[in-house]
């Protein structure tokens, strides 16, 4: 097996070679572990590499000697897992020093499901601390590089997962998306990222940042793998009260090609403002032309509250975070400051030294927004805006089936370019936040390259309409046939850190 073969593989292709005994799950697992050993000292996508566990698991799977017909959907497929999703016995740090010594005693629901489906875990991937950031620069353990250009960020917060899939250190990965944390790094790394409808995938075992926004998502090299992985991880869970009471996704919601072309494609003018890099706008215009030629009806729509979504998000998300992160107090687990003088000192020093700067900023912001006298002015207003944003999308999806927008206003930026100015960094998520606030599903797809950097396209749909999004994305992927990323090595000489 070499990289030129594997770069285009879907899960079905792995299963084909397994069935033909051309290669075994152990060999495939070893292939990816070798890739990690080759690239990750420069790329730094992983925080934990579980070589022993992964090979052990591959061996167990092989011993089961299943016929192809019985192969569970993720049989023998190695995966990378964002470090805010709990795997029993493995470190789960959330990219934070405050959890540097923490190992989870239980599996997240998605991990249980993937285990049952035959998946193999290569390790845990780097992220912005507690998923707060858009570049991995907020990781307590150093940033991950963009495989296309190591002087640039991979996006965030699921930057480690996205980079590992783009660099083929893993064929697929899980991330989490609170305001764009799956889609933005997928766009920056030239892969496919899906944020499902809020409640479509159980959050049990996903370490909370902002509970009403957090959603586990997938990062893959092609739409078909997104579909397979999403099918496995979705569905009701009695351990998560916010999980929707629906069975797992099944692709019987799939549309035949002639049906796909009947979809009405919406374009929202608010997403094509002068602040967007013309390269991105231009590429999307080209795609719209292609779609028109293919017979799609393109409809211009408006989402008037888009501008307020970002501001409201930076009230609601930090407010929830300030409460969710209160448990990291140095009492029962995790990091504790040395030689505390008393309880107050233990709390203060543990938290001020255990958390990074951006996390502290958001805790303070959120605490302020929930304080007595400010709750109505901030949190409540934020929630009201959220309702309006949601309504915008509802109106819009009465007119069209899917919406096409840029994922990000800019191409992958350089390290340090935005990290000095939090507001500039927050703006990197301006096109992914409104849909997150509305809880609707959204997919990020690589739609081409500018020079050596990938350009992302976002496909949005109505709640629980992942079927439409995935059908459309499958069609578009085939029509555009953008080559998947191939990273032979990560050349750190170009680095300008």
Partner 1 sequence: MANWHITIGLEVHCQLLTQAKLFCQCGTDYIGKPPNSLVCPVCLGLPGSLPVMNHHAMQLALRTASSLHCQLLPKVVFHRKNYFYPDLPKGYQISQYDLPIGINGYFEFLTQGEKKQVRIKRVHIEEDAGKLIHEGINLPENCSGVDFNRCGIPLVEIVTEPDLHHPEEARECLTALRDLVRFIEVSDGNMEEGSLRCDANISISTHPDLMGVKVEVKNMNSFRSVFRALEYEIDRQKRCLEEGGSVPQETRHWDETNEVTISSRGKEDAEDYRYFPDPDLLPYIVKEEVIHQIKSSLPELPLERKERFMIDYELTESDASVLVQDKSLADFFENCIQELNKPKFIANWTITEVLKNLNILDIDIKQSKISPSSFMELLKMIDKKEISGTIAKAVLEEMFQTGGRAKEIMAKKGIAQINSEKEIEKIVRQVIEQNPQSVADFLGGKEKAFHFLFGQVMKVTRGQANPDLVKSILNKELSAEG
- With CB under 8 A as the contact rule, which of the stretches 84-92, 147-155, 283-291, 426-434 interacts with partner 1? 84-92
Give the Å distances, CA to CA, from 461 to 70, 263, 265, 302. 33, 11, 10, 15
| Site for partner 1 contains 246 (CB under 8 A) | no
Query: Among residues 326 and 497, whose Cβ is nearest to partner 1?
Result: 326
With 0-12 CB in 10 A as exposed, 13-18 as middle and 19+ as buried, what is 23? middle
Q: Tell me the closest approach of the beta carbon of residue 15 to partner 1, in angstroms.
A: 31
Query: Among residues 213 and 260, whose Cβ is nearest to partner 1?
Result: 213
| Site for partner 1 contains 204 (CB under 8 A) | yes
Catalytic: 82? Answer: yes
**In which residue are the tokens 């890099």 written?**
277
| Site for partner 1 contains 323 (CB under 8 A) | yes
With 0-12 CB in 10 A as exposed, 13-18 as middle and 19+ as buried, what is 58? buried
Structure tokens at 485: 């990323």
User: Quick one: which of 241, 258, 293, 451 contacts partner 1 (CB under 8 A)?
Assistant: 241
Residues 379 and 250 sit within 8 Å (Cβ to Cβ): no
Scanning residues 380 to 399, which ones bind partner 1 (CB under 8 A)? Answer: none
Query: Among residues 272 and 368, whose Cβ is nearest to partner 1?
Result: 368
Catalytic: 181? Answer: yes
**Backbone φ and ψ of 267, nearest 5°:** -130, 120
* Upper half-sphere CA count for residue 257 (Cβ side, 13 Å): 9
**Residue of 157, 161, 208, 322 marked catalytic:** 157
Scanning residues 335 to 354, which ones bind partner 1 (CB under 8 A)? Answer: 343, 347
Q: CB under 8 Å to 173, separation ≥6 — which residues? A: 79, 80, 81, 82, 125, 158, 161, 162, 164, 165, 218, 219, 220
Q: Is the peptide bond before 442 cis (omega within 30 degrees of 0)?
A: no
Question: Can you tell me the distance from the alpha carbon of 480 to that of 129, in angstroms, rounded to the nearest whole number?
Answer: 35
Q: Tell me the closest approach of the beta carbon of residue 317 to partner 1, in angstroms.
A: 11
Q: Tell me the closest approach of the beta carbon of residue 102 to partner 1, in angstroms.
A: 7
- With CB under 8 A as the contact rule, which of the stretches 155-163, 202-210, 285-293, 452-460 interacts with partner 1? 202-210
| Site for partner 1 contains 88 (CB under 8 A) | no
Catalytic: 176? Answer: no
DSSP alpha helices (H): ranges in 294-355?
306-324, 343-354
**Sites of contact with partner 1 (CB under 8 A):** 84-86, 92, 94, 99, 102, 104-106, 108, 203-208, 210-212, 238-242, 319-320, 322-323, 325-327, 329, 331-333, 343, 347, 367, 370-372, 375, 379
């Amino acid at each position: 097996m070499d990289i030129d073969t594997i770069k285009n593989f879907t899960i079905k292709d792995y299963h084909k070679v397994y069935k033909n005994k051309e290669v075994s799950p152990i060999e495939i697992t070893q292939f990816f572990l070798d890739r990690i050993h080759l690239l990750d000292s420069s790329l730094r996508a992983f925080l934990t590499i579980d070589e022993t566990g992964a090979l052990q698991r591959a061996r167990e799977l092989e011993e089961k000697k299943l016929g192809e017909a019985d192969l569970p959907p993720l049989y023998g497929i190695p995966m990378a897992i964002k470090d805010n999703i709990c795997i029993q016995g493995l470190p789960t740090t959330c990219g934070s020093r405050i959890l540097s010594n923490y190992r989870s005693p239980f599996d997240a629901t998605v991990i249980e499901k993937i285990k049952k489906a035959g998946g193999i875990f290569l390790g845990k991937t780097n992220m912005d601390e507690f998923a707060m950031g858009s570049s991995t620069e907020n990781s307590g353990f150093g940033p991950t590089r963009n495989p296309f250009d190591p002087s640039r960020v991979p996006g965030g917060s699921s930057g480690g997962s996205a980079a590992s899939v783009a660099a083929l250190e893993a064929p697929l990965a899980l991330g989490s998306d609170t305001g764009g944390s799956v889609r933005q790094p997928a766009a920056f790394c030239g892969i496919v990222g899906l944020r499902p409808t809020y409640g479509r995938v159980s959050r049990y075992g996903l370490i909370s940042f902002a509970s009403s926004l957090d959603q586990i998502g997938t990062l893959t090299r092609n739409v078909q793998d997104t579909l397979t992985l999403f099918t496995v991880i979705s569905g009701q869970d009695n351990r998560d009260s916010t999980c929707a009471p629906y069975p797992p996704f099944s692709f019987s919601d799939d549309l035949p090609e002639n049906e796909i072309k009947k979809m009405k494609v919406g374009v929202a003018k608010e997403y094509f403002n002068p602040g967007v890099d013309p390269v991105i706008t231009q590429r999307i215009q080209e795609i719209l032309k292609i779609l028109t030629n293919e017979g799609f009806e393109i409809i211009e729509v408006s989402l008037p509250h888009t501008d307020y979504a970002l501001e409201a998000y930076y009230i609601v998300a930090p407010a929830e975070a300030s409460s969710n992160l209160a448990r990291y107090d140095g009492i029962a687990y995790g990091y504790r400051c040395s030689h505390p003088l008393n309880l107050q000192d233990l709390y203060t020093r543990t938290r001020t030294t255990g958390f990074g700067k951006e996390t502290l900023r958001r805790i303070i912001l959120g605490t302020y927004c929930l304080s007595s006298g400010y709750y109505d002015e901030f949190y409540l207003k934020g929630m009201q805006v959220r309702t309006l944003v949601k309504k915008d999308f509802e109106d819009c999806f009465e007119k069209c089936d899917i919406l096409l927008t840029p994922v990000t206003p800019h191409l992958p930026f350089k390290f340090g370019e935005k990290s000095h100015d939090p507001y500039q960094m927050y703006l990197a998520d301006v096109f992914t936040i409104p849909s997150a606030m509305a809880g609707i599903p959204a997919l990020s797809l690589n739609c081409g390259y500018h020079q050596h950097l990938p350009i992302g396209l976002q496909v949005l749909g109505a709640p629980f309409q992942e079927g439409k999004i995935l059908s459309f994305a499958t069609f578009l992927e085939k029509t555009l046939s953008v080559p998947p990323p191939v990273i032979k090595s990560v050349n750190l000489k170009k680095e300008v850190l």
